[in-house]
Structure 1
Protein backbone atom coordinates (compact mmCIF):
# COMPACT_ATOMS: atom_id res chain seq x y z
CA UNK A 1 0.00 0.00 0.00
CA UNK A 2 1.41 3.33 -1.01
CA UNK A 3 0.75 6.60 0.68
CA UNK A 4 0.56 9.92 -1.02
CA UNK A 5 3.50 12.19 -0.43
CA UNK A 6 2.77 14.94 2.04
CA UNK A 7 2.21 18.29 0.39
CA UNK A 8 4.96 20.81 1.14
CA UNK A 9 3.96 23.37 3.75
CA UNK A 10 2.76 26.61 2.32
CA UNK A 11 3.81 29.96 3.71
CA UNK A 12 1.26 32.68 3.69
CA UNK A 13 2.45 36.21 3.32
CA UNK A 14 0.32 38.98 4.62
CA UNK A 15 -0.59 41.33 1.80
CA UNK A 16 1.01 44.76 1.92
CA UNK A 17 -1.95 46.95 2.68
CA UNK A 18 -2.05 50.72 2.59
CA UNK A 19 -1.67 50.97 6.36
CA UNK A 20 1.23 48.50 6.47
CA UNK A 21 3.01 50.29 3.63
CA UNK A 22 2.68 53.62 5.46
CA UNK A 23 3.96 52.05 8.71
CA UNK A 24 6.91 50.52 6.87
CA UNK A 25 7.71 53.90 5.37
CA UNK A 26 7.38 55.46 8.82
CA UNK A 27 9.89 53.00 10.24
CA UNK A 28 12.42 53.76 7.50
CA UNK A 29 11.83 57.49 7.99
CA UNK A 30 12.41 57.11 11.73
CA UNK A 31 15.80 55.47 11.11
CA UNK A 32 16.81 58.25 8.70
CA UNK A 33 15.56 60.85 11.18
CA UNK A 34 17.56 59.27 14.01
CA UNK A 35 20.70 59.48 11.87
CA UNK A 36 19.96 63.15 11.13
CA UNK A 37 19.48 63.90 14.84
CA UNK A 38 22.77 62.16 15.66
CA UNK A 39 24.47 64.40 13.10
CA UNK A 40 22.84 67.53 14.49
CA UNK A 41 23.38 66.98 18.19
CA UNK A 42 26.50 64.85 17.97
CA UNK A 43 28.55 67.09 15.66
CA UNK A 44 26.91 70.34 14.58
CA UNK A 45 25.05 71.37 17.74
CA UNK A 46 26.69 69.62 20.70
CA UNK A 47 24.97 70.28 24.04
CA UNK A 48 24.66 72.71 25.70
CA UNK A 49 25.25 74.90 22.64
CA UNK A 50 22.16 73.32 21.08
CA UNK A 51 20.00 74.76 23.87
CA UNK A 52 21.72 78.15 23.74
CA UNK A 53 21.17 78.56 20.01
CA UNK A 54 17.67 77.03 19.95
CA UNK A 55 18.45 73.95 17.91
CA UNK A 56 15.69 71.91 19.53
CA UNK A 57 12.96 73.72 17.60
CA UNK A 58 14.86 73.37 14.33
CA UNK A 59 15.33 69.67 14.98
CA UNK A 60 11.63 69.14 15.75
CA UNK A 61 10.60 70.82 12.49
CA UNK A 62 13.11 68.79 10.51
CA UNK A 63 12.15 65.53 12.19
CA UNK A 64 8.43 66.27 11.92
CA UNK A 65 8.60 66.91 8.18
CA UNK A 66 10.65 63.74 7.68
CA UNK A 67 8.26 61.57 9.69
CA UNK A 68 5.03 63.01 8.29
CA UNK A 69 5.65 63.87 4.65
CA UNK A 70 6.73 60.51 3.23
CA UNK A 71 4.50 58.11 5.21
CA UNK A 72 1.44 60.31 4.69
CA UNK A 73 1.94 60.46 0.93
CA UNK A 74 2.54 56.70 0.85
CA UNK A 75 -0.75 56.16 2.70
CA UNK A 76 -2.54 58.36 0.18
CA UNK A 77 -1.21 56.82 -3.05
CA UNK A 78 -0.65 53.18 -2.06
CA UNK A 79 -3.00 50.62 -3.58
CA UNK A 80 -1.95 47.00 -4.15
CA UNK A 81 -1.64 46.25 -7.87
CA UNK A 82 -1.97 49.89 -8.85
CA UNK A 83 -0.38 50.66 -12.20
CA UNK A 84 2.64 52.94 -11.79
CA UNK A 85 2.77 52.43 -8.01
CA UNK A 86 6.54 51.90 -8.00
CA UNK A 87 7.05 55.20 -9.83
CA UNK A 88 4.80 57.00 -7.35
CA UNK A 89 6.78 55.60 -4.41
CA UNK A 90 10.10 56.64 -5.98
CA UNK A 91 8.77 60.15 -6.47
CA UNK A 92 7.65 60.29 -2.83
CA UNK A 93 11.06 59.09 -1.65
CA UNK A 94 12.77 61.70 -3.82
CA UNK A 95 10.54 64.49 -2.47
CA UNK A 96 11.14 63.38 1.10
CA UNK A 97 14.89 63.23 0.59
CA UNK A 98 14.90 66.66 -1.05
CA UNK A 99 12.98 68.12 1.90
CA UNK A 100 15.38 66.47 4.37
CA UNK A 101 18.49 67.72 2.54
CA UNK A 102 17.05 71.24 2.30
CA UNK A 103 16.31 71.20 6.02
CA UNK A 104 19.79 69.92 6.87
CA UNK A 105 21.32 72.62 4.69
CA UNK A 106 19.32 75.32 6.50
CA UNK A 107 20.24 73.89 9.91
CA UNK A 108 23.91 73.57 8.95
CA UNK A 109 23.97 77.24 7.92
CA UNK A 110 23.24 78.32 11.50
CA UNK A 111 25.42 75.76 13.32
CA UNK A 112 27.77 77.20 15.98
CA UNK A 113 31.33 77.47 14.64
CA UNK A 114 33.17 79.65 17.19
CA UNK A 115 33.00 80.38 20.90
CA UNK A 116 34.66 83.78 21.20
CA UNK A 117 35.78 85.40 24.44
CA UNK A 118 35.13 89.12 24.18
CA UNK A 119 35.99 91.46 27.09
CA UNK A 120 33.67 90.14 29.83
CA UNK A 121 31.69 87.35 28.18
CA UNK A 122 31.73 84.62 25.57
CA UNK A 123 29.83 84.84 22.31
CA UNK A 124 28.51 81.81 20.44
CA UNK A 125 29.04 82.56 16.75
CA UNK A 126 26.97 80.77 14.11
CA UNK A 127 28.18 79.90 10.63
CA UNK A 128 25.95 82.52 9.02
CA UNK A 129 27.08 85.23 11.45
CA UNK A 130 30.33 85.59 9.50
CA UNK A 131 30.63 86.53 5.85
CA UNK A 132 32.93 84.58 3.55
CA UNK A 133 35.11 87.67 3.06
CA UNK A 134 35.55 88.22 6.79
CA UNK A 135 36.24 84.54 7.30
CA UNK A 136 38.94 84.56 4.62
CA UNK A 137 40.66 87.39 6.52
CA UNK A 138 41.02 85.24 9.66
CA UNK A 139 44.17 85.86 11.68
CA UNK A 140 45.29 82.22 11.34
CA UNK A 141 44.35 79.10 9.41
CA UNK A 142 42.07 77.69 12.11
CA UNK A 143 39.99 80.86 12.05
CA UNK A 144 39.51 80.85 8.28
CA UNK A 145 37.06 77.97 8.09
CA UNK A 146 33.71 77.09 9.62
CA UNK A 147 33.99 74.05 11.82
CA UNK A 148 31.81 70.99 11.18
CA UNK A 149 32.74 69.33 14.48
CA UNK A 150 31.48 71.82 17.04
CA UNK A 151 32.58 75.38 17.81
CA UNK A 152 36.25 76.36 18.13
CA UNK A 153 37.46 78.49 21.01
CA UNK A 154 38.97 81.93 20.32
CA UNK A 155 39.25 85.36 21.89
CA UNK A 156 39.24 88.93 20.62
CA UNK A 157 40.92 92.06 21.89
CA UNK A 158 40.02 95.67 21.19
CA UNK A 159 42.66 97.12 18.83
CA UNK A 160 45.15 99.52 20.43
CA UNK A 161 45.73 101.51 17.25
CA UNK A 162 43.48 104.58 17.27
CA UNK A 163 42.66 104.37 13.57
CA UNK A 164 41.87 100.66 13.79
CA UNK A 165 39.80 101.26 16.92
CA UNK A 166 37.72 103.89 15.13
CA UNK A 167 37.21 101.45 12.26
CA UNK A 168 35.98 98.77 14.66
CA UNK A 169 33.61 101.27 16.27
CA UNK A 170 32.14 102.18 12.89
CA UNK A 171 31.63 98.50 12.11
CA UNK A 172 29.87 98.04 15.46
CA UNK A 173 27.50 100.90 14.64
CA UNK A 174 26.70 99.05 11.41
CA UNK A 175 25.86 95.92 13.43
CA UNK A 176 29.14 94.04 12.98
CA UNK A 177 30.81 93.25 16.30
CA UNK A 178 34.36 92.08 16.98
CA UNK A 179 33.30 88.47 17.57
CA UNK A 180 32.02 88.37 13.97
CA UNK A 181 35.42 89.39 12.58
CA UNK A 182 37.94 86.51 12.55
CA UNK A 183 40.75 88.92 11.58
CA UNK A 184 40.75 89.96 15.28
CA UNK A 185 40.62 86.42 16.64
CA UNK A 186 43.48 85.24 18.83
CA UNK A 187 44.28 82.02 20.62
CA UNK A 188 42.21 81.97 23.79
CA UNK A 189 45.16 81.15 26.07
CA UNK A 190 46.81 84.45 25.11
CA UNK A 191 43.85 86.35 26.57
CA UNK A 192 42.93 84.02 29.43
CA UNK A 193 44.44 86.29 32.10
CA UNK A 194 42.15 89.17 31.10
CA UNK A 195 39.10 86.91 31.21
CA UNK A 196 40.20 85.54 34.59
CA UNK A 197 40.14 89.07 36.03
CA UNK A 198 36.57 89.61 34.85
CA UNK A 199 35.19 86.19 35.85
CA UNK A 200 32.74 85.95 38.74
CA UNK A 201 32.49 83.55 41.68
CA UNK A 202 29.87 80.82 41.62
CA UNK A 203 28.16 82.36 44.65
CA UNK A 204 27.29 85.38 42.50
CA UNK A 205 25.54 83.05 40.06
CA UNK A 206 23.68 81.19 42.80
CA UNK A 207 22.55 84.46 44.36
CA UNK A 208 20.89 85.67 41.17
CA UNK A 209 19.85 82.28 39.83
CA UNK A 210 19.30 79.73 42.64
CA UNK A 211 18.00 77.21 40.08
CA UNK A 212 21.53 76.94 38.70
CA UNK A 213 22.93 75.42 41.91
CA UNK A 214 21.96 71.72 41.33
CA UNK A 215 23.43 71.65 37.81
CA UNK A 216 26.64 73.39 38.83
CA UNK A 217 27.11 71.31 41.95
CA UNK A 218 26.54 68.12 39.95
CA UNK A 219 29.29 69.25 37.55
CA UNK A 220 31.65 70.05 40.43
CA UNK A 221 31.11 66.62 41.95
CA UNK A 222 31.52 64.80 38.64
CA UNK A 223 34.81 66.60 37.94
CA UNK A 224 36.20 66.63 41.48
CA UNK A 225 36.35 70.43 41.65
CA UNK A 226 35.77 72.82 44.54
CA UNK A 227 33.39 75.73 44.05
CA UNK A 228 36.06 78.14 45.31
CA UNK A 229 38.37 77.13 42.44
CA UNK A 230 35.82 77.68 39.67
CA UNK A 231 34.49 80.95 38.25
CA UNK A 232 32.14 81.77 35.40
CA UNK A 233 31.23 84.21 32.68
CA UNK A 234 28.08 84.45 30.55
CA UNK A 235 28.01 82.80 27.14
CA UNK A 236 25.66 84.75 24.89
CA UNK A 237 23.76 83.09 22.05
CA UNK A 238 20.67 83.63 19.89
CA UNK A 239 18.21 81.82 22.12
CA UNK A 240 19.54 82.50 25.60
CA UNK A 241 22.64 83.23 27.65
CA UNK A 242 24.19 80.23 29.40
CA UNK A 243 27.27 79.84 31.60
CA UNK A 244 30.91 79.12 30.75
CA UNK A 245 32.90 77.74 33.68
CA UNK A 246 36.51 78.83 34.08
CA UNK A 247 39.46 77.68 36.15
CA UNK A 248 39.95 80.45 38.71
CA UNK A 249 43.73 80.18 38.77
CA UNK A 250 44.42 80.15 35.03
CA UNK A 251 41.28 81.60 33.46
CA UNK A 252 41.16 78.66 31.05
CA UNK A 253 37.74 77.35 30.04
CA UNK A 254 36.36 74.23 31.70
CA UNK A 255 32.86 73.54 30.36
CA UNK A 256 29.72 75.36 29.24
CA UNK A 257 26.61 74.58 31.27
CA UNK A 258 22.97 74.90 30.29
CA UNK A 259 21.93 77.24 33.09
CA UNK A 260 20.65 80.77 32.64
CA UNK A 261 23.38 83.36 33.10
CA UNK A 262 21.68 86.08 35.13
CA UNK A 263 24.09 89.00 35.31
Structure 2
Protein backbone atom coordinates (compact mmCIF):
# COMPACT_ATOMS: atom_id res chain seq x y z
CA UNK A 1 0.00 0.00 0.00
CA UNK A 2 1.32 3.46 -0.89
CA UNK A 3 1.16 6.45 1.44
CA UNK A 4 -1.50 7.99 -0.79
CA UNK A 5 -3.69 4.89 -0.54
CA UNK A 6 -3.27 4.84 3.23
CA UNK A 7 -4.15 8.52 3.50
CA UNK A 8 -7.19 7.97 1.24
CA UNK A 9 -8.46 5.14 3.45
CA UNK A 10 -7.94 7.29 6.54
CA UNK A 11 -9.77 10.17 4.82
CA UNK A 12 -12.68 7.88 3.88
CA UNK A 13 -13.08 6.70 7.47
CA UNK A 14 -12.85 10.29 8.75
CA UNK A 15 -15.45 11.50 6.24
CA UNK A 16 -17.85 8.74 7.27
CA UNK A 17 -17.52 9.60 10.97
CA UNK A 18 -17.83 13.32 10.21
CA UNK A 19 -20.99 12.79 8.14
CA UNK A 20 -22.67 10.75 10.88
CA UNK A 21 -21.78 13.32 13.55
CA UNK A 22 -22.87 16.21 11.33
CA UNK A 23 -26.28 14.58 10.84
CA UNK A 24 -26.68 14.20 14.61
CA UNK A 25 -25.69 17.81 15.24
CA UNK A 26 -27.54 19.52 12.38
CA UNK A 27 -30.74 17.50 12.40
CA UNK A 28 -31.18 16.48 16.05
CA UNK A 29 -29.27 18.65 18.53
CA UNK A 30 -29.27 21.87 16.51
CA UNK A 31 -32.21 21.70 14.11
CA UNK A 32 -32.66 24.63 11.77
CA UNK A 33 -32.27 27.50 12.55
CA UNK A 34 -30.58 26.96 15.91
CA UNK A 35 -27.13 25.95 14.71
CA UNK A 36 -26.65 29.42 13.26
CA UNK A 37 -28.38 31.10 16.21
CA UNK A 38 -26.16 29.23 18.68
CA UNK A 39 -23.02 30.27 16.83
CA UNK A 40 -21.84 26.71 16.27
CA UNK A 41 -20.39 27.18 12.78
CA UNK A 42 -16.83 28.10 13.77
CA UNK A 43 -16.49 25.25 16.28
CA UNK A 44 -17.98 22.77 13.84
CA UNK A 45 -15.52 23.84 11.15
CA UNK A 46 -12.66 23.36 13.61
CA UNK A 47 -13.81 19.86 14.56
CA UNK A 48 -14.31 18.82 10.96
CA UNK A 49 -10.95 20.33 10.03
CA UNK A 50 -9.21 18.21 12.65
CA UNK A 51 -11.15 15.08 11.74
CA UNK A 52 -11.00 15.34 7.96
CA UNK A 53 -7.70 17.12 7.33
CA UNK A 54 -5.19 16.66 10.15
CA UNK A 55 -5.47 12.90 10.63
CA UNK A 56 -5.24 11.88 6.95
CA UNK A 57 -2.54 14.48 6.34
CA UNK A 58 -0.37 13.08 9.14
CA UNK A 59 -0.93 9.59 7.77
CA UNK A 60 0.27 10.80 4.37
CA UNK A 61 3.42 12.21 5.99
CA UNK A 62 4.43 9.26 8.20
CA UNK A 63 3.23 6.25 6.19
CA UNK A 64 5.85 4.11 4.50
CA UNK A 65 5.29 0.45 3.78
CA UNK A 66 7.58 -1.71 5.92
CA UNK A 67 8.69 1.22 8.08
CA UNK A 68 9.80 0.23 11.56
CA UNK A 69 7.40 1.55 14.19
CA UNK A 70 4.71 2.37 11.61
CA UNK A 71 1.92 0.84 13.68
CA UNK A 72 2.93 2.92 16.67
CA UNK A 73 2.96 6.10 14.56
CA UNK A 74 -0.48 5.38 13.13
CA UNK A 75 -1.85 4.53 16.57
CA UNK A 76 -0.57 7.86 17.93
CA UNK A 77 -2.18 9.74 15.04
CA UNK A 78 -5.48 7.95 15.61
CA UNK A 79 -5.40 8.66 19.35
CA UNK A 80 -4.57 12.34 18.85
CA UNK A 81 -7.27 12.71 16.22
CA UNK A 82 -9.84 10.92 18.39
CA UNK A 83 -8.96 13.00 21.46
CA UNK A 84 -9.27 16.30 19.58
CA UNK A 85 -12.50 15.20 17.94
CA UNK A 86 -14.08 13.97 21.18
CA UNK A 87 -13.17 17.18 22.97
CA UNK A 88 -14.82 19.32 20.30
CA UNK A 89 -17.80 16.97 20.14
CA UNK A 90 -18.29 17.23 23.91
CA UNK A 91 -18.20 21.04 23.73
CA UNK A 92 -20.93 21.02 21.08
CA UNK A 93 -22.97 18.56 23.15
CA UNK A 94 -22.74 20.70 26.28
CA UNK A 95 -23.67 23.82 24.32
CA UNK A 96 -26.67 22.32 22.51
CA UNK A 97 -29.98 24.22 22.85
CA UNK A 98 -32.38 22.31 25.09
CA UNK A 99 -35.21 24.85 25.43
CA UNK A 100 -36.53 27.70 23.34
CA UNK A 101 -38.17 29.92 25.93
CA UNK A 102 -40.97 32.32 24.96
CA UNK A 103 -40.63 35.16 27.41
CA UNK A 104 -42.45 38.51 27.35
CA UNK A 105 -41.68 39.81 23.85
CA UNK A 106 -38.95 37.49 22.56
CA UNK A 107 -37.69 33.93 22.16
CA UNK A 108 -34.55 32.92 24.04
CA UNK A 109 -32.58 29.71 23.42
CA UNK A 110 -31.39 28.08 26.64
CA UNK A 111 -28.40 25.77 26.31
CA UNK A 112 -27.54 22.60 28.22
CA UNK A 113 -24.68 24.26 30.08
CA UNK A 114 -26.90 27.19 31.10
CA UNK A 115 -28.96 25.06 33.46
CA UNK A 116 -28.07 23.79 36.93
CA UNK A 117 -29.21 20.34 38.02
CA UNK A 118 -30.74 21.82 41.18
CA UNK A 119 -32.87 24.20 39.12
CA UNK A 120 -33.98 21.44 36.76
CA UNK A 121 -35.12 19.39 39.76
CA UNK A 122 -37.57 22.18 40.65
CA UNK A 123 -39.38 22.10 37.29
CA UNK A 124 -43.15 21.80 37.53
CA UNK A 125 -43.40 19.20 34.75
CA UNK A 126 -41.17 16.17 34.07
CA UNK A 127 -40.58 17.34 30.49
CA UNK A 128 -38.96 20.52 31.82
CA UNK A 129 -36.70 18.71 34.30
CA UNK A 130 -34.25 17.20 31.80
CA UNK A 131 -31.85 18.42 29.16
CA UNK A 132 -33.23 17.19 25.87
CA UNK A 133 -31.06 15.02 23.62
CA UNK A 134 -33.54 15.15 20.74
CA UNK A 135 -33.64 18.86 19.99
CA UNK A 136 -34.82 21.95 21.85
CA UNK A 137 -38.28 22.02 23.44
CA UNK A 138 -40.50 25.06 22.95
CA UNK A 139 -41.80 26.36 26.30
CA UNK A 140 -43.09 29.55 27.86
CA UNK A 141 -41.84 31.29 30.98
CA UNK A 142 -44.03 33.17 33.43
CA UNK A 143 -42.75 35.52 36.11
CA UNK A 144 -43.56 34.57 39.71
CA UNK A 145 -46.32 36.41 41.55
CA UNK A 146 -44.72 36.09 44.98
CA UNK A 147 -42.98 39.34 45.95
CA UNK A 148 -39.95 37.65 47.48
CA UNK A 149 -39.48 35.43 44.44
CA UNK A 150 -39.75 38.44 42.15
CA UNK A 151 -37.12 40.30 44.15
CA UNK A 152 -34.82 37.26 44.19
CA UNK A 153 -35.26 36.92 40.45
CA UNK A 154 -34.45 40.59 39.95
CA UNK A 155 -31.12 40.27 41.74
CA UNK A 156 -30.40 36.98 39.99
CA UNK A 157 -31.05 38.65 36.63
CA UNK A 158 -28.57 41.40 37.45
CA UNK A 159 -26.00 38.66 38.12
CA UNK A 160 -26.72 37.12 34.70
CA UNK A 161 -29.16 34.34 35.58
CA UNK A 162 -32.58 35.48 34.44
CA UNK A 163 -36.07 33.98 34.28
CA UNK A 164 -35.41 31.71 31.30
CA UNK A 165 -32.73 29.80 33.24
CA UNK A 166 -35.16 28.66 35.94
CA UNK A 167 -37.22 25.67 34.73
CA UNK A 168 -39.59 26.04 37.71
CA UNK A 169 -41.10 28.99 35.86
CA UNK A 170 -41.59 27.10 32.60
CA UNK A 171 -45.09 26.42 31.30
CA UNK A 172 -46.43 24.86 28.13
CA UNK A 173 -46.06 27.21 25.18
CA UNK A 174 -49.83 27.15 24.65
CA UNK A 175 -50.23 29.07 27.94
CA UNK A 176 -48.25 32.05 26.61
CA UNK A 177 -49.03 31.81 22.89
CA UNK A 178 -51.77 34.46 22.96
CA UNK A 179 -49.57 36.89 24.88
CA UNK A 180 -46.64 36.32 22.51
CA UNK A 181 -48.79 36.92 19.44
CA UNK A 182 -50.19 40.07 21.02
CA UNK A 183 -46.62 41.41 21.35
CA UNK A 184 -45.64 40.36 17.83
CA UNK A 185 -45.27 42.93 15.06
CA UNK A 186 -46.54 42.65 11.47
CA UNK A 187 -43.97 41.12 9.15
CA UNK A 188 -44.48 44.06 6.79
CA UNK A 189 -42.77 46.28 9.39
CA UNK A 190 -39.71 44.06 9.31
CA UNK A 191 -39.68 44.14 5.53
CA UNK A 192 -39.63 47.94 5.61
CA UNK A 193 -36.51 48.15 7.83
CA UNK A 194 -33.96 47.94 5.02
CA UNK A 195 -33.48 46.71 1.44
CA UNK A 196 -31.68 43.63 2.80
CA UNK A 197 -34.54 42.85 5.20
CA UNK A 198 -37.01 43.23 2.34
CA UNK A 199 -35.03 40.78 0.19
CA UNK A 200 -34.79 38.20 3.00
CA UNK A 201 -38.50 38.45 3.79
CA UNK A 202 -39.47 38.17 0.13
CA UNK A 203 -37.33 35.05 -0.28
CA UNK A 204 -38.91 33.52 2.81
CA UNK A 205 -42.45 34.30 1.62
CA UNK A 206 -41.75 32.81 -1.80
CA UNK A 207 -40.32 29.62 -0.25
CA UNK A 208 -43.04 29.22 2.39
CA UNK A 209 -46.01 30.01 0.17
CA UNK A 210 -47.57 32.13 2.91
CA UNK A 211 -48.93 35.65 2.62
CA UNK A 212 -47.27 38.43 4.56
CA UNK A 213 -50.51 39.22 6.38
CA UNK A 214 -50.58 35.69 7.80
CA UNK A 215 -47.32 36.24 9.66
CA UNK A 216 -45.87 38.28 12.48
CA UNK A 217 -42.46 38.44 14.13
CA UNK A 218 -40.64 38.69 17.44
CA UNK A 219 -36.93 38.86 18.29
CA UNK A 220 -34.95 35.66 18.69
CA UNK A 221 -31.90 36.13 20.90
CA UNK A 222 -28.75 34.50 19.52
CA UNK A 223 -25.40 33.99 21.24
CA UNK A 224 -23.76 36.87 19.39
CA UNK A 225 -26.43 38.31 17.08
CA UNK A 226 -30.16 38.88 17.15
CA UNK A 227 -32.46 37.06 14.74
CA UNK A 228 -36.11 37.32 13.82
CA UNK A 229 -38.59 34.59 14.71
CA UNK A 230 -41.52 34.36 12.31
CA UNK A 231 -44.88 33.37 13.83
CA UNK A 232 -48.08 32.15 12.24
CA UNK A 233 -51.03 34.33 13.19
CA UNK A 234 -53.35 31.36 12.79
CA UNK A 235 -51.52 28.75 14.88
CA UNK A 236 -49.50 31.23 17.02
CA UNK A 237 -46.53 28.88 16.56
CA UNK A 238 -43.00 29.96 15.61
CA UNK A 239 -42.26 28.85 12.07
CA UNK A 240 -38.72 29.87 11.23
CA UNK A 241 -35.94 32.30 12.02
CA UNK A 242 -34.58 34.92 9.65
CA UNK A 243 -31.07 36.37 9.80
CA UNK A 244 -32.36 39.91 10.36
CA UNK A 245 -31.79 42.09 13.43
CA UNK A 246 -35.37 42.88 14.52
CA UNK A 247 -34.53 45.79 16.82
In the alignment, structure 1 residue 82 sits paired with structure 2 residue 67 = yes
Partners of 1:149 and 1:205 in 2: how far apart?
Answer: 32
Aligned partners of 2:103, 2:199: CA distance in 1, in Å? Answer: 28
Structure exhibiting the larger radius of gyration computed from Cα positions: 1
Find out whether 1:228 has 2:228 as its counterpart.
Answer: no
Alpha-carbon offset, residue 51 of structure 1: 0.9
Unmatched 5+ stretches in structure 1: 1-15
Task: Provide the residue aligned with 1:30 in structure 2.
Answer: 15
Alpha-carbon distance change, 210 to 131 in structure 1, aligned in 2, over 3 angstroms? farther
- Which 4+ stretches in 1 moved above 6 angstroms? none
Q: 1:190 aligns with which of 175, 179, 189?
A: 175
State the Cα distance separating 1:197 from its structure 2 match. Answer: 1.2
**Aligned match of 2:243:** 259
Q: Secondary structure of the residue that 1:155 maps to in structure 2?
A: strand
2:61 partner SS: helix
Q: Could you state the TM-score of these two structures normalised by the residue count of structure 1?
A: 0.87
Contact kept, 8 Å, 2:128 with 2:167, in 1: the verdict is yes
Deviating more after overlay: 84-93 vs 192-201: 84-93
The residue number in structure 1 matching 2:38 is 53
SS across alignment from 1:92: helix
TM-score, normalised to structure 2, is 0.92
The alignment status of 1:133 with 2:121, answered yes or no, reads no
User: What is the alpha-carbon distance in structure 2 between the residues aligned to residue 35 and residue 212 of structure 1?
Assistant: 35
1:62 is aligned to 2:55: no
- Aligned residue for 2:105? 120
Give the corresponding residue for 1:160: 145
For residues 232-251 of structure 1, the C-alpha deviation after alignment (integer angstroms, 9 at most, x for no partner) is 1011010321121222245x
Q: Which runs of 5+ in 2 are unaligned?
A: none
Offset of 1:176 from its aligned partner?
Answer: 0.6
Measured after TM superposition, the shift of residue 221 of structure 1 is 4.1
Aligned counterparts of 2:35 and 2:144: Cα–Cα separation in 1 = 31
Aligned pairs, number: 247
- Aligned mates of 1:120, 1:211 — CA distance in 2: 24
* Aligned partner (choices 197, 206, 210) of residue 212 of structure 1: 197
